[in-house]
Amino acid sequence: MATLSVNVDHVATVRQARLAKEPDPVTAALKAELAGADGITVHLREDRRHIQDRDLHLIRRTAKTRLNLEMAATSEMLGIALEVKPDMVTLVPEKRAELTTEGGLNVDGRGDGEKLKDFVRSLKEGGIPVNLFIDPSLDAVKASHRIGADGVEIHTGTYADAGTDGRRDMELKRVHDAVLLADRLSMKVHAGHGLNYINIKAVAAIAEIDEFAIGYSIVSRAIYVGIEAAVAEMKRLIG
């Protein structure tokens, strides 16, 4: 059965809107764990638009489950990861102008493949398992395997945004095919981005997915019902 890692970035987004002390993503992470979250995910962006260094360090010290650090493949982030020692790192692309991550890493040989290979090696030598956030593409899965990643997180945003049943079925098949290949290559398989309390059901039916990383929809639901209830409901849906 797949596990759930709760992303608390958008708790920090609300806090940073007023540069205030609350709501505190550290407290949200602890409450999510008490509600049954199997892990906590934070994305420390280069522009620090939501999660701050303080949040990362406190969550590392207080979390009782697994900490997944999402980050860009930069020298600054490498130093932070090797200092903090999260339970895993997920490498993601970053653009300053984007509202949220718009797609997977460019992992083929014509893009950032060689750079990523060296970066992944540095993290693994530091004792940190590494996933790559990729589009649901067989080529991207194969490239991630060649690079030496321990696993992949399949980007489900295109599936989530598909407007018609036919388009959504096509995107779901792409996700499914990528998951199956990664599983055959003995890679850890995570999935996330754009998943909510309605569209999660079809993806959760893919038995080979090890973990879901979900944040925005849980934080949004928590405004109405509280974070404990929001996490518990999502756990039930993926279970």
Active site residues: 43, 70, 193
- How long, in residues, is the chain? 239
3-state secondary structure 32-43: HHHCCCCEEEEE
CB 178 within 8 A of CB 137: yes
SS3 156: coil
CB 123 within 8 A of CB 160: no
Q: What are phi and psi of 151, to 5 degrees?
A: -165, 180
Collect all residues with Cβ–Cβ distance below 8 Å to 170 and sequence separation of at least 6.
162
3-state secondary structure 109-153: CCCCHHHHHHHHHHHHHCCCCEEEEECCCHHHHHHHHHHCCCEEE
Question: Residue 198 class from Cβ within 10 Å (0-12 exposed, 13-18 middle, 19+ buried)?
Answer: exposed
